[in-house]
Amino acid sequence: MARTTGSHSDITGPRVRAAALRLFAAGGYAAVSMRAIAAEVGVQAGALYNYTPDKQSLLFDLMQGHMTDLLAETPSDPTRPAMQQLQDFVAFHIRFHADRPDEVFIAYMELRNLTPENFAVIEGLRREYEDRLETILRTGVENGYFAVADPKIVTLAIIAMLTGVNTWYRAGGRLSLDEVVAQYWDMVRKAVTV
183: contact with a second copy by CB under 8 A: yes
In angstroms, give the least distance from the CB of 72 to a second copy.
23
Rounded-to-integer distance, Cα 91 and Cα 139, Å: 19
CA distances from 39 to 9, 20, 25, 126, 133 (A): 17, 11, 16, 32, 41
Alpha helices in the chain (DSSP H): 8-27, 34-41, 45-48, 55-73, 82-98, 101-109, 116-142, 151-163, 177-192
In this complex, which beta carbon is closest to a second copy, that of residue 111 or of residue 121?
111
* Cβ 126 vs Cβ 67: under 8 Å: yes
164: contact with a second copy by CB under 8 A: yes
> Which of these segments, 51-59, 63-71, 78-86, 182-190, binds a second copy (CB under 8 A)?
182-190
CA 61 from centre of chain: 13
> Which of these segments, 6-14, 58-66, 138-146, 159-167, binds a second copy (CB under 8 A)?
159-167
Rounded-to-integer distance, Cα 75 and Cα 151, Å: 19
In angstroms, give the least distance from the CB of 188 to a second copy.
8
120: contact with a second copy by CB under 8 A: no
Query: How many residues in the chain?
Result: 194
In this complex, which beta carbon is closest to a second copy, that of residue 29 or of residue 51?
29
In angstroms, give the least distance from the CB of 194 to a second copy.
8
In angstroms, give the least distance from the CB of 102 to a second copy.
11
- Tell me, by CB under 8 A, how many residues bind a second copy: 34
Residues 20-49 close enough to bind a second copy by CB under 8 A: 26-31
CB atoms within 10 A of CB 49: 12
**Binding-site ranges for a second copy (CB under 8 A):** 26-31, 108-109, 112, 149-150, 153-154, 156-161, 163-165, 167-168, 175, 180, 183-184, 186-188, 190-191, 193
